[in-house]
Structure 1
Amino acid sequence: MEGAVALFGPRARGFPGPPAPLPATIATPPEPGWGGSTVPLKTLITEESEGVLLVRLNRPEQRNAFNNRMYDELRDTLAEAQRLGEVRAVVVTGTGRAFSAGQDLGEMASPPAGDGSPHGFGPFMDRVCSFDKPLLAAVNGVGVGIGLTLLLHCDLVFIAEGARLRAPFVTLGVVPEAASSYLLPLLVGFRKAAEVLYSADWIDAQRAVELGIANRLCGPEELLPVALDDARRLAKQPPEALRHTKRLLLATREEAVRAARRREDEAFAVRVGSPENREAIRAFFEKRTPDFTKL
């Protein structure tokens, strides 16, 4: 949510080095409204090799902030990855210097009619929460808002030296998202989660590993090779046994995650557009410190 107006189809073979930004399409799954049609990708770049799908968030000028289209495209890419037998694991990373700057603040400033949540966010999270193949993240730079909370749903997280994470929800006058009010305390403990969520302070890469948000600290150049190597190793495991095991793990927290998301969505609908939220957004665009003392 910071520093941006924030926060598949021909699948290339072979990974080494950043891919050329070729026109991408994804053969979408046969879900209502799509009909298996081919839809151009504008916010992602995808490659598949050796059973691993590499997904790059691709809005580098906005530091990969999530807009409506990115939510929808990543949701459908995960749906396709779940459907295709040749995809055994998925790795998500960012293009440029950021993993993701979070929610696009331009869209938060003018939310669509409805429950107050960003359009596409709910269906995207439904897909993430039900994704039953290994989901890995290679955090190559800043991860803010959804750029942090998405990591709580990943099975393995690798983070580059110099990367930083932040949960700025309170400073924006809103509340945590993506069941992070449940998953973060579950992962790091209540008091450490309170420190992260209340203060909105930056978490450096080493601290992210110490807290358990990330599994491994990597040099910037080795980040993606290490993540892909682990993904390939998982891709060689018996696929149905691996999926069954992940479903069992997800089942231990399924109801709690659903309840947390419902509470967060209800609270977010109250907070977005509130005087505190409006002041925070105005201050962001005016490049000043927000003043909540007179609200």
Structure 2
Amino acid sequence: MTAEIAIWRDGPIQILRIARPEKKNALTGAMYGKLADAIEAGDADDTIAAHILTGSGGVFTAGNDIGDFLATARGTGGLDKNVVRFIRLLPVVKKPLIAAVDGNAIGIGTTLLFHCDLVYAAPDATFATPFLDLGVVPEAASSLLMPARMGYTRAFAMLALGDPLSADDALAAGFVNAIVPASDLEATALAAAKRLSAKPPEALAIARRLMRGDPEIILARMDEEVAAFRERLRSPEAVEAFTAFFEKRPPNFRKTE
């Protein structure tokens, strides 16, 4: 287990905490792999009833580590297989997945929430998907799920304009269940998970499957997004975006000779 992912149990509930505070909980390939390992193991364990995903230090996650993206854009790395593995796991998680979001939820930190069964947020939670600003495209089937959940115009403002949402906005948009004080956030998620653990497991699994629909449709969109994402990571736009990020300057996508 990498130190940046803490995993433990509270009775029948598996809790996964992203803990890389020095990088605002940005996710590396190894961290994606540990999250996927834990979810797969929990799904295969009959004594685990649900998963809770949370952050630490007042941050959920800053999204994918930009350094990894820059390495790919410069041709010295690739889109880590664990990133794709984790994303493709989200639509087929067998046990309820609950998120407790405090602080920033950027990129995958927001898009993964559309695969969660329950999402609780602290009042200062902020949700943002700045994919286009980085010269890339939406992922985790967000191009399909966000318009379906929020409506096209609100999803377009978030995915294309890069407009962030507050906790109140996210609640109104329908992908946050409730806003609770940060001090109560994890306890609220745990209480909901334990309520689910008391339900008949086979009936719960069937109900989830019926409500979530055909995962193959979502997986197909994910594969489209991954192909486009890989292509865009090596584009001049992405190189400029990532370089500008590290140089702390605005990117220039309209360079002249």
**TM-score calculated relative to the size of structure 1:** 0.83
Map of 2:121 onto structure 1: 159
Displacement of 1:269:
1.9
Separation in 2 of the partners of 1:76 and 1:114?
26
Q: Which has the higher contact order (CA 8 A, sep 6+)?
A: 2
Structure 2 residue 229 is matched with structure 1 residue 268:
yes
Displacement of 1:249:
2.7
* Cα distance change on mapping 1:193 and 1:63 into 2, 3 Å: same
> Equivalent residues in 2 for 1:36-185 (5 A)?
40-111=1-72, 117-185=79-147
Structure 2 residue 163 is matched with structure 1 residue 225:
no
Displacement of 1:165:
0.8
Separation in 2 of the partners of 1:88 and 1:115?
37
For each residue in 1:236-292, what CA deviation from the matched residue of structure 2 results, as whole angstroms up to 9, or x when unmatched? 111121112222333x24232122112111211221121111111011101111111
Q: Which amino acid aligns with 2:194?
A: R
Map of 2:205 onto structure 1: 243
Q: Describe the SS at the equivalent of 1:77.
A: helix
Q: Which amino acid aligns with 2:19?
A: N
Q: Is the 8 A contact 1:68 1:118 kept in 2?
A: yes
Q: Which amino acid aligns with 1:158?
A: Y
Q: Describe the SS at the equivalent of 2:209.
A: helix
Q: Is the 8 A contact 2:49 2:96 kept in 1?
A: yes
Displacement of 1:61:
1.1
Separation in 2 of the partners of 1:274 and 1:136?
35
Map of 1:33 onto structure 2: none
Q: Which amino acid aligns with 1:64?
A: N
More helix by share: 2
Q: Which amino acid aligns with 1:223?
A: L
Q: Describe the SS at the equivalent of 2:64.
A: coil
**Structure 1, unpaired ranges of 5+:** 1-39
Q: Describe the SS at the equivalent of 1:221.
A: helix
Separation in 1 of the partners of 2:246 and 2:139?
22
Displacement of 1:114:
11
Displacement of 1:148:
0.5
Structure 2 residue 158 is matched with structure 1 residue 196:
yes
Q: Which amino acid aligns with 2:173?
A: L
* Cα distance change on mapping 1:280 and 1:96 into 2, 3 Å: same
For each residue in 1:22-77, what CA deviation from the matched residue of structure 2 results, as whole angstroms up to 9, or x when unmatched? xxxxxxxxxxxxxxxxxx33221122123111111111111111101111000000
2:168 aligned residue (206, 209, 230): 206
When the two chains are superposed, the root-mean-square deviation of aligned CA atoms in Å is 1.8
Q: Is the 8 A contact 1:43 1:73 kept in 2?
A: no
Separation in 1 of the partners of 2:2 and 2:252?
40
Q: Which amino acid aligns with 1:62?
A: K
Separation in 2 of the partners of 1:257 and 1:180?
9
Q: Is the 8 A contact 1:93 1:138 kept in 2?
A: yes
Q: Describe the SS at the equivalent of 1:186.
A: helix
Q: Is the 8 A contact 1:75 1:128 kept in 2?
A: no
Displacement of 1:115:
11
Separation in 2 of the partners of 1:41 and 1:77?
12
* Cα distance change on mapping 1:185 and 1:116 into 2, 3 Å: farther
**Structure 2, unpaired ranges of 5+:** none
> Equivalent residues in 2 for 1:19-34 (5 A)?
none
Identity across aligned pairs (percent)? 38
**TM-score calculated relative to the size of structure 2:** 0.94
